[in-house]
Amino acid sequence: MISINVQRNWKNFTSLRLNDIMEAVMRNEEERISVIIPVYNVVPYVEKCVRSVTDNTYQNLEILCIDDGSTDGSGKILDALAAADPRIRVIHQENRGISEARNRGLSEAEGNYIAPVDSDDYVHPRYFESMMHCMKEKKASLVICDFRPFQDGEDPLPAASPKISYRRLDCREFYGTVHARNMTWGRIYRREDIGNLRYAPEVHIAEDTLFTLSVVSNMDSPLIYMTDFPLYFYRKRPSSMMRDVRSAYYCEIGKWYLENHYLVEQGSWNYLVCLQAVKMTLAYRYLTSFQTDRKERTREADRMLRACLGRLRCEKKTWLLHAVMFLMPPLYRAYRIKNDPTLPDFEKKQKRYRTDTRGLT
């Protein structure tokens, strides 16, 4: 009888232990963050970037380094780092651009949370711990931190903070906060909210903005939290991945939206991408006014603006403001000058360049 009881107790104990282990494994999988780092020719910076991730207090990470055809040895540094840390996975591919590199990371990611990090930046030692605490405690959809910009030669030390507070952003605050709206780094997304959305390779300016707004636009009831504490360190350098801005780039989000609007009209904030398309197309029309083929480009912009404004479902005041700026280009110019007093100098240079170009032809 004793032997039978012992066997039963042992089986029960074993069963409980297995259940505990399985629950721990499931919990571990559910809280894993996939960190996506696109890498292209950043030998001086990439090791510090990756080590700032691996040395974080939050250790449940999958670190996906996408070597986008680097020719300077960045890929070898990544391979050496991966050999020393099993959480690092290096994916080598031909050069396809930053959007395609990020998309490869999204396709390969296995974690339930996504954290993009740029390869020339680095993060605070408590970056993931702090934001995941907010994510879990507040049941947040998206958690964003402030950032500290720095230049080569500077090395801002991460500030210590016993407690980092977060505040909730409503729709107006989120869209009105430049960093919250425009960047893709300095935040943690839920993988379920990203779904099949991807970065648009055909968009060359504000592709980060388009991606972030697309994800948020598809959320049923967005719970977005942000801290003003700088947990992300952003390197400003002339040779970074930022491209020269051409006026033609400003119409790309409008074109993307009109072709793909059905992808970003699911959630309660579903007008955000459309509003961004209107703003960018207004800027495109303004910039083309300095070009020799401005009549044709202006007609193109007007067609896009009519279509976007026809789909813009936002508060009446916002809609009327942008509709009036569409109908009255001088008002849009006055609006731009109010926000950027240096604009008249820019206009003089553009007019002078156009005159010189005509003289050459």
**pLDDT tens per residue, the chain (361 residues)?**
545 554 555 455 444 454 554 444 445 767 999 999 999 999 999 999 999 999 999 999 999 999 999 999 999 999 999 999 999 999 999 999 999 999 999 999 999 999 999 999 999 999 999 999 999 999 999 999 999 999 988 888 777 777 899 999 999 999 999 999 999 999 999 999 999 999 999 999 999 999 999 999 999 999 999 999 999 999 997 654 444 468 889 999 999 999 999 999 899 999 999 999 999 999 999 988 887 778 999 999 999 999 999 999 999 999 999 999 999 999 999 988 888 888 778 777 777 655 554 544 4
204 burial (CB, 10 Å; 0-12 / 13-18 / 19+) is middle
* Domain spans of the chain, in order of start: 32-236, 264-355
pTM of the shown model: 0.86
- Asked if 332 contacts 325 with a C-beta cutoff of 8 angstroms, the reply is yes
Q: How far is CA 197 from CA 1, 113, 147, 243, in A?
A: 62, 14, 25, 23
Question: Which residue is it, tokens 């998206």?
Answer: 142
Q: Which architecture characterizes domain 32-236 according to CATH?
A: Alpha-Beta Complex (3.90)
